[in-house]
């Protein structure tokens, strides 16, 4: 394996230089996963080095993962909020931090993912939200592009149409950096931290993307798993019809951990790391 191109060979979750599962999706038929809004595409080659710096290189492959909602519903029926485990006939199982790292390639160790919703001027040297957007993205969402005129929950279509439009072959670094931040915001709102609507993302994530190197040192795996647990617990409540969180992670975990639920043709995709865990020599 060409692990020298990945840039993660010294991280704590890289065992024996095995590839992350999402990293194999660029070399197999796109049978697994697609975002519900079906707006995102694979990132252009020009921004992949920037995605690698931010730690989101492998997550970008998950935009072509196709959601099996029948399986997702069946798993939620077996989810128990009091223990955060799936109760199956064979026993209890759950998604762990190790699974998140192996499935998505996100960092386990590092500083926690945190931010603020109010009081932006206090936390960001007197900058308003408009100034932050102009500085980091180069453009400010209009009130029509937000959930409401008073809230800063921005529609994912705005990032797709405005920030992540066609990128020029000779684009300069500033343009590629802004494209990368917009693309990551779409990943956050559409895949990693989606809510039940799956159509918007709060602007509070944006300051974390100002410095891509610092972004890559955050413990994104912990935040993704905590948010998925929360969304699965909410989905078990009576009357809930939608499921937020990283559904792609939950389904991909099920395909690898529960062989009986794998889709047709899945056995043709060999992920060496998962096979070594499930079938140790």
Angle formed at CA 154 by CA 149 and CA 158, multiple of 5 degrees: 115
Report whether pLDDT(4) > 60. Answer: no
pLDDT digits (tens, 9 = 90+) for 150-182: 677 888 888 888 888 777 888 888 889 999 999
Report whether pLDDT(257) > 80. Answer: yes
If you average pLDDT over residues 180-208, what whole number do you get?
87
Determine which helix (DSSP H) or strand (DSSP E) holds 88, and give its type and residue range.
strand 85-88
Compute CA distances 153 → 75, 118, 220, whole Å. Answer: 29, 13, 21
Do 109 and 218 contact (CB within 8 A), yes or no? no
Report whether pLDDT(205) > 80. Answer: yes
Q: Name the residue with higher pLDDT: 279 or 50.
A: 50
Whole-angstrom distance, CA of residue 50 vs CA of residue 215: 11
If you average pLDDT over residues 53-76, what whole number do you get?
84
If you average pLDDT over residues 87-109, what whole number do you get?
89
Report whether pLDDT(31) > 60. Answer: no
């Amino acid at each position: 394996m060409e692990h020298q191109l990945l840039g993660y060979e010294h991280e704590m979750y890289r065992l024996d230089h095995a590839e992350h599962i999402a990293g194999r999706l660029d070399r197999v038929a796109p049978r697994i996963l697609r975002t519900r809004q079906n707006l995102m595409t694979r990132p252009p080659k020009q921004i992949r080095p920037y995605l690698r710096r931010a730690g989101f290189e492998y997550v970008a492959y998950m935009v072509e993962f196709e959601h099996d909602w029948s399986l997702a519903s069946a798993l939620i029926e077996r989810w128990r909020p009091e223990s955060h485990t799936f109760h199956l006939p064979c026993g209890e199982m759950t998604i762990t931090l190790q699974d998140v790292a192996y499935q998505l390639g996100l960092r386990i160790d590092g500083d926690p993912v945190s931010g603020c919703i109010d009081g932006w001027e206090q936390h960001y040297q007197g900058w308003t939200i408009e100034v932050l957007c102009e500085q980091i993205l180069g453009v400010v969402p209009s009130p029509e592009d937000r959930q409401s005129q008073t809230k800063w929950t921005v529609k994912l279509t705005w990032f797709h149409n405005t920030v992540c439009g066609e990128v020029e072959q000779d684009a300069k670094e500033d343009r590629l950096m802004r494209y990368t931040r917009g693309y990551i915001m779409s990943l956050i709102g559409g895949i990693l931290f989606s809510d039940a609507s799956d159509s918007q993302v709060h602007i509070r994530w944006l300051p974390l993307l100002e410095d891509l190197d610092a972004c890559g040192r955050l413990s994104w795996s912990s935040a993704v798993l905590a948010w998925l647990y929360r969304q699965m617990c909410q989905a078990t409540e009576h009357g809930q019809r939608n499921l937020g969180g990283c559904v792609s992670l939950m389904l991909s975990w099920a395909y690898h951990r529960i062989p009986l639920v794998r889709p047709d043709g899945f056995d043709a995709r060999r992920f060496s790391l998962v096979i070594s865990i499930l079938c140790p020599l």
